[in-house]
Structure 1
Amino acid sequence: MFDFIKKMLSGSNEAEIKRLRKTVEEINALETHMKALSDEEMRAMTDKLRERAQAGEDLDKLLPEAYALVREAAVRTLGQRPFDTQMIGAIVLHQGRIAEMRTGEGKTLTAALPAYLNALTGKGVHIVTVNEYLARFHSEWMGKIYRFLGMSVGLVEHEMETAARQQAYQSDITYGTNNEFGFDYLRDNMVTYKERMVQRPLNFAIVDEVDSILIDEARTPLIISGRGEKSTDLYQRADQFVRRLSEGEDKDFVREEKEKAISLTEEGVRKAERYFNIENLTDPENQELYHHILAALRANVLMKRDVDYVVKDGQVVIVDEFTGRLMVGRRYSDGLHQAIEAKEGVKVERENKTLATITFQNYFRMYKKLSGMTGTAKTEEEEFQGIYKLDVVTIPTNKPMIRKDLNDAVFVSQKAKFAAVVDEIVKRHETGQPVLVGTVSVEKSEFVSKLLEKRGVPHVVLNAKFHEKEAEIVA
């Protein structure tokens, strides 16, 4: 039964690709004409297409000309001609769907085509990436095409002032991270005067690594906080107390690792009452103290340095569990961040109070049109459909796949696993094959690094501690 459903779905995808190829043929038929145009004539075509789009002509009718124009612009500015498969992906994105494209098939260039087409309306296009490095790199790289064709391109970054943000959002095409777009929306809803707003109405977004942003991080709340008035002394006292406690059903506290939950046992409660010289810890008047103790327990027992956070320049900085990157400026809520600061012996900032919040799921559902790209989307197709009403189309590769996808290997222990990983790296390194090793945390990346050092394998480490050097290391 499962094989039958799989075949049926595969057949429907193939039929869809066949339909899309007809539009690609229309685009290809215009290639000779576009090649004959001068640079000035190509820029003039943008003005004509813009006039038609803003006069109400359907973008679907403009698509063949627009895509043929961008293809020729890519050849002239980047020396790259988008493949027919990239054209198929670009059509899918314009239709407000998800293009599942394998790694190395050119998603960045693919996104430039629907971005240009939809920017002709003058309503703006947002291209969403998972980190600032990619946003900056893609805006500079694809910006050569846009500017050649007379389009403006903007970039939204963390440290930018309001005026610079407004200018970036007024551009025809704007690059930025999901965090920046989401936080700017929240800030816009808090301003007193509309002149201070930075975003325009949310028109069209193309989301890179769409499964990570729209599924994995869907319920992640973006929170804007204000400084609270409470003293920070209690965090340090609670931290000193929990360091005396022992774990176990018959001891002071128990934990649920998966849920990141922790609670005091009856013995733990009695110890707290003696330590803080109170009669009843569960009394409503001691609720704040109880909250601080639990926060201190979570900080000391559940939150791991170099896994969940790093300490950098005297500050506790969160590590994004999905990307491994530092989330500068973001803080844990409910006093957890202060509890970690007390644990690490750095300055404890005052607890914040929430002023505005939204999840990525609710933010991205507000766009008039939404699309995305990823190498793996079919597995989450049901969720994309149910939550965002987004179809997934698997885009064929430009050339037959030669990469081998091997089965998972399972080991009896972490020690055995990492020994096997290092053996494999050494074997590949001896043949001159470059190796990329992915780990789940900063701590694990440094552990593998030490094992490689012992074996004399030259390597570089890229993790949250060295994210500023990403471009240099990757190059």
Structure 2
Amino acid sequence: MSPMGHPLRARTRPGATCSPPFPRPLRSPAPRPRVRVPLPREHPMALAERDIPIIGPILHKIIGTRNERFVKKYTQRVNAINALEAETRKLTDAQLRGKLHEFRARLDKGAKVDDLMIEAFAVAREAMDRAVGIRNVFNPKHNFDPSALPSAMRDLYAATNAEMDARPPAPPEGEWLGNNDAIPGWMQVDIDPALYQAVRDLYKESRPPFRARPFDVQLIGGMVLCQGKIAEMKTGEGKTIVGPLACYMACIERLRVHVVTVNDYLVQRDRDWTFPYFHALGLTVGAIHPQHMQDEGVKRNMYRCDVVYGTTSEFGFDYLRDNMKRRVEEQVQKKRQFAIVDEVDSTLIDEARTPLIISGPAHEDAPRYELADRLARHLVEKQKPWQAADDRLERAKLRIKGLEGDLRQTRDKANIPKIQSEMEAARNDLPRLEAERNQFTQYFEVKLERKQVHLTHDGVAEAQRVAGLGSFYVDENIDLPHLLEQSLRAHVVYELDKDYVIMDANDPMTGRKQPSIVIVDVNTGRPMVGRQWSDGLHQAVECKERVPIKQETQTVATITIQNFFKMYKRLAGMTGTADTEAQEFHDIYKLDVVSIPTNKPVVRRDFDDMVFMSAKDKWNFIVDEIKAFHDCGRPILVGTTSVEKSETLSKMLMNKHAIQHEVLNAKQHEREAHIVENAGHLGQVMIATNMAGRGT
């Protein structure tokens, strides 16, 4: 075998001969025969994928790219689904629910999943249109006017509505499992297919609240998911509908499906919105939430449903908690068969190595957090002269790198001597700056990229002198070096309104609200209520911010997000930006990415990035740009990378132009639904952090 794992023919030309890969022994009993191995002819499609100059583009033009061939194949299936639509519309609600058992029976008799896919998706499309869309004509919230219906249909509407009003609320059990409240009558009664058709004739276009017919591209997305691939769909293309379409096909295969969304608000919203669809197909759907929102008995019932909505962290923590149970009967999750991950690039790539950690009490005694905090403040103050000198040195090194870049990229040769002169002067100044820095003492070393701080020998000596307790490395003082390094991390690495916020939260012991440190998820920008850093770091931050100190914890069980999702038998995902990480998805998870075209041509214009010489210039330009668009009455969304920056921009906008606006960050997450609801109105301005899953 060759080093690439292929036979030797990979290194030969047609008609050439191969020598043995190793030298022949001096005393061989018989010479090895010379083998003639022809190189196999490459398939034209393989050549096309290689982007060979001239040949590659020509073949792409003739046979299309790999993604185009995928989409073409799925489009043929969509055409077949559309051909079944008229026939499927004739089915009653009971017949639609019964299709689940029919498909399962055919599967048990030897039918293949692909053979059932077209019929299954035709049924799923009809169920979505009926249950999530047309049935809302009976929903009191939407105030449907039945007088718009034909006279014959008005009588049918009145009779059906009377039957619904007479039906008592149904308890959330059995076929209604997964609901938190009783089910009203308007959701229980079957509707005549003729009435469904009358509403379709009234509302031709699929648009909420009275129509929810999945578009062709959404059917393609559903088929991509149910085959264990990643569907790349642009924002606003309706991924909320795509996931449930794939769930039905998986449930036909008797797989338990976990639909993973990015926050608890979307978990409950998406579950409640799609619940009528799942019930119309004879399925149950539940939603899981953190322990402070949902007790274990309710969560166990949710996991009994065919489809379960939840966040990545909650599915992962339930797995860890199950592994800590003493008996199988006490476990709640049990099976991990099929996961559909929303914002899959954020979850499986950006957060892949993020550990999910369950912690337990670390000490019976109370560590000396206040002493460590006092020492940390002292060392931070003592290091300021050294830090200022080091900052000047780092700026000089950064300037030299910038000049080197200018020298390489300058087009005006006349500028080269000037740049070289400046670079030489900057290099000559480095020894002086280093000498200035060395006049001062470094008490600790900071590694921001690793979020670490380490004490130097001088730092330990100074801390021991200030503490007056003798050596930190004997007897009862042995814990102080660790506590001091954690306090230094809290002061110089972790920042308020970026890594954490201060919010009022319920104390688990007293139940009263008190100021607490709440960690902000760096990937989603959302507050993680109830979570805390381990090994004394959380307590160090609490001591820094002068809030009540919680008991220190240590790791009891942990798993990374990547390893958790690898335990599922089948994995799929949706996002608006997956194609750029297609190689990583394939290498790590063996997942293919299919880019699905939009339902309508994109009219949005994308402009090039703008780069400013200073942050001040950038923020002033943004504020003026907001003013210009606001004066035109256009709604504006401004994205920032941290809570601090969102609030800074908010103050600048009010001080300079007095424009009313909303700020959506980790501090306002409870008002999220209300803020997002009004975001697109005339002249509305919203400043938001980069919180995943906040598209539509």
Indicate the residue corresponding to 1:165 in structure 2: 299
How far the C-alpha of 1:55 sits from its partner, in A, is 5.6
Alignment of 1:421-432 (within 5 A): 421-432=622-633
Change beyond 3 A, Cα 1:297–1:120? same
Change beyond 3 A, Cα 1:179–1:401? same
- Of 312, 315, 321 in structure 2, the residue corresponding to residue 181 of structure 1 is 315
Question: Normalising to structure 1: TM-score of the pair?
Answer: 0.95
- Does the alignment pair 1:408 with 2:582? no
How far the C-alpha of 1:232 sits from its partner, in A, is 3.5
Q: In structure 2, give the amino acid aligned to 1:164.
A: V
Q: In structure 1, give the amino acid aligned to 2:533.
A: Y
How far the C-alpha of 1:244 sits from its partner, in A, is 1.3
- Does the alignment pair 1:150 with 2:204? no
CA contact (8 A) 1:310 1:316 kept: yes
Change beyond 3 A, Cα 1:112–1:449? same
Between 108-117 and 141-150, the greater mean CA deviation after superposition? 141-150
Indicate the residue corresponding to 1:68 in structure 2: 122
- Of 339, 343, 354 in structure 1, the residue corresponding to residue 544 of structure 2 is 343
The SS at the match of 2:664 is coil
Alignment of 1:86-165 (within 5 A): 86-158=218-290, 159-165=293-299
Indicate the residue corresponding to 1:23 in structure 2: 77
Alignment of 1:73-472 (within 5 A): 73-77=127-131, 78=133, 79-158=211-290, 159-245=293-379, 246-247=382-383, 248=386, 250-251=440-441, 252-281=443-472, 287-313=478-504, 314-454=515-655, 455-472=657-674
CA contact (8 A) 1:126 1:175 kept: yes
Distance (whole Å) between structure 2 residues aligned to residue 188 and residue 458 of structure 1? 48
Over aligned residue pairs, what C-alpha RMSD do you find?
2.1
Higher-RCO chain (CA-CA 8 Å, sequence separation at least 6): 1
Q: In structure 2, give the amino acid aligned to 1:67.
A: F
Change beyond 3 A, Cα 1:408–1:284? farther
Q: In structure 2, give the amino acid aligned to 1:457.
A: I
How far the C-alpha of 1:3 sits from its partner, in A, is 8.8
CA contact (8 A) 1:128 1:206 kept: yes
Distance (whole Å) between structure 1 residues aligned to residue 227 and residue 519 of structure 2? 37
Unaligned runs of 5+ in 1: none
How far the C-alpha of 1:205 sits from its partner, in A, is 0.5
Q: In structure 2, give the amino acid aligned to 1:85.
A: V
CA contact (8 A) 2:532 2:538 kept: yes
Structure whose CA Rg is larger:
2
The SS at the match of 1:258 is helix
Per-residue CA distance 1:12-53 (angstroms, 9 max, x = gap)? 111111112121122111111111212222122233224334
Distance (whole Å) between structure 2 residues aligned to residue 86 and residue 6 of structure 1? 31
Indicate the residue corresponding to 2:680 in structure 1: none
The SS at the match of 2:479 is helix
The SS at the match of 1:412 is coil
CA contact (8 A) 1:59 1:118 kept: no
Distance (whole Å) between structure 2 residues aligned to residue 52 and residue 459 of structure 1? 57
CA contact (8 A) 1:54 1:120 kept: no
CA contact (8 A) 1:30 1:65 kept: yes
Q: In structure 2, give the amino acid aligned to 1:214.
A: L
How far the C-alpha of 1:285 sits from its partner, in A, is 7.5
Per-residue CA distance 1:289-338 (angstroms, 9 max, x = gap)? 11111100000111111111111122111001111111112111221111
Distance (whole Å) between structure 2 residues aligned to residue 267 and residue 54 of structure 1? 74
CA contact (8 A) 2:359 2:534 kept: no
How far the C-alpha of 1:287 sits from its partner, in A, is 4.6
Per-residue CA distance 1:175-217 (angstroms, 9 max, x = gap)? 0000110000111111011111111321100000000000111
Between 398-407 and 229-238, the greater mean CA deviation after superposition? 229-238
How far the C-alpha of 1:431 sits from its partner, in A, is 1.5
The SS at the match of 1:300 is helix
Distance (whole Å) between structure 2 residues aligned to residue 473 and residue 28 of structure 1? 38
The SS at the match of 1:135 is helix
CA contact (8 A) 2:260 2:340 kept: yes
Indicate the residue corresponding to 1:474 in structure 2: 676
The SS at the match of 1:244 is helix
How far the C-alpha of 1:233 sits from its partner, in A, is 4.1
Q: In structure 1, give the amino acid aligned to 2:324.
A: M
Question: Normalising to structure 2: TM-score of the pair?
Answer: 0.66
